Amino acid sequence: MAAFEYTALNQKGRQQRGVLEADSARHARQLLREKDLFPTKVESSGAEPSSKGGAFSFTSGLSSFERVLFIRQLATLVGSSMPIEEALKAVAEQTEKQRVATLIMAVRSKVLEGYTLAASLREQPKSFNALFCSTVAAGEQSGYLSKVLENLADYIERQYEATSSVKSALFYPATVLLLAFFIVGALMVYVVPDMVNVIIDSGQQLPWFTLVLIDLSDFLSAFWWLLLAALAALIVFARWLLNRPRPRLIWDRFKFRIPLVSRVTRNSNAASYTNTLSILTRSGVPLVDAMAIAGDVIGNTWLKQGLMKATQTVSEGVALKTSLDEIGQFPPMVLHMIAAGEQSGELDEMLGRVAVFQQREVERVLGAVLKLIEPAMLLVMGGIVLFIVMAVMLPMLSMNQMV
């Protein structure tokens, strides 16, 4: 059976939308009529766009929060010995968003056709990445799917909480900066010109900072649209440039040379890599395969190349600690704990501890930086406002003295 999205009218003439399972679109319309609904639109939910096709049903996959909620609910239901297809149906019925329900029902349809859960999830690549699918596959092969899903849910929740905390911390400074930009811009365009005209009409000699303010005000009044266009063009060009392999590689490598950025980049990538390795090895995935998957999860292209070489050396029999040490971008603490895990035979447990430690270190560094940014922004904005006030008020005080 396949999943179908429908739009129908009830007996009161009100429109209803939903998802149901049927053998065909005709069967779906029949089921709707049996429920006293008049179908106006019935179409297959399909899957996310593939690399070959052009038609698709979803413009985007699951959001981070929706993915966390899905895996946690699925892990709970599977852990209570509920069959996979029934668990998926229950999760789909639980969600209030039709888009999410349609995606889950599409996964359930593949499961009912005889595909494994991992293979069904791979049909939705924008919602479930290689880490997600490989972990689920390992759980199905080992027979411990419920436990693996619980571990995966914990991992995804940690990632979501870490990302959310960083976004929350950045929200206030970004809002203050944006408001300050618009306030200063409004002053320069609408308020300062009128006040400056009064000063100019007085005929007195103006100080240099007042002349600078007049020039800036005239320029912003005449070419503010040009500045916005140039800024937008610069953003578009930077994104286009970073999407090209060579510039992206150079930029990702340069990140490891910027004093403060290098520390955050090194620790965050180490946390992501070790966390992924931990969840995969704990789920029964061989170390070499886990390293290949974890390397794909890393967003830094330059580091990813080094991890590909490390995966190759491990497959040749070299220790994990030695292979990662050759890259030269992993913190010493990470390497020492990995070496201890290899010697004690508890590598997956040690990787989990390393990941938690590195993630906390990233949050600590970012927290300290953001605490410094807020007063720095206030000082900069205070300096700008002071400059405007001095440029306007000093000539006016001189006018009063002359009178």
pLDDT tens digits for range 58-96: 345 788 888 888 988 998 898 888 888 889 988 888 887
DSSP 296-335: HH---HHHHHHHHHHHHHHHTT--HHHHHHHHS-S-HHHH
Assess contact for 77 and 70: CB atoms under 8 A.
no
pTM score, whole prediction: 0.66
Assess contact for 213 and 386: CB atoms under 8 A.
no
Closest CA to 340 of 356, 358, 353: 353
Q: Which two tokens stand for residue 353?
A: 């501890």
Alpha-carbon torsion 203, 208, 210, 213, what sign? Answer: positive
57 DSSP assignment: S
The span from the CA of 131 to the CA of 160, in Å, is: 15
Q: Which residues pair with 41 in a beta bridge?
A: 7
Give me the residue label for tokens 């940690």: 158
Rounded (5°) CA angle 74-78-79 = 115
Q: Which residues pair with 20 in a beta bridge?
A: 4
Q: Which two tokens stand for residue 270?
A: 């180490």
Q: What are the Cα distances from residue 394, in Å, to 189, 199, 203?
A: 20, 10, 14
> What are the pLDDT tens digits along the chain (403 aa)?
666 777 777 777 787 777 776 766 777 777 778 777 777 777 776 544 433 333 334 345 788 888 888 988 998 898 888 888 889 988 888 887 888 888 888 888 888 888 888 888 988 888 888 778 887 887 787 777 888 888 788 878 877 877 777 777 777 777 877 777 777 777 777 776 776 676 667 666 677 777 787 787 778 778 878 988 999 999 999 999 988 989 999 999 999 998 888 888 888 888 888 888 888 888 778 889 889 888 877 888 999 999 999 999 999 999 999 999 999 889 898 999 999 998 988 888 888 888 888 878 887 887 787 777 778 877 877 887 788 777 777 776 666 555 4
Q: Which two tokens stand for residue 163?
A: 């990302």
Assess contact for 17 and 39: CB atoms under 8 A.
no
- CA-CA-CA-CA torsion for 247, 250, 253, 258, nearest 10 degrees? -100
Assess contact for 255 and 262: CB atoms under 8 A.
yes
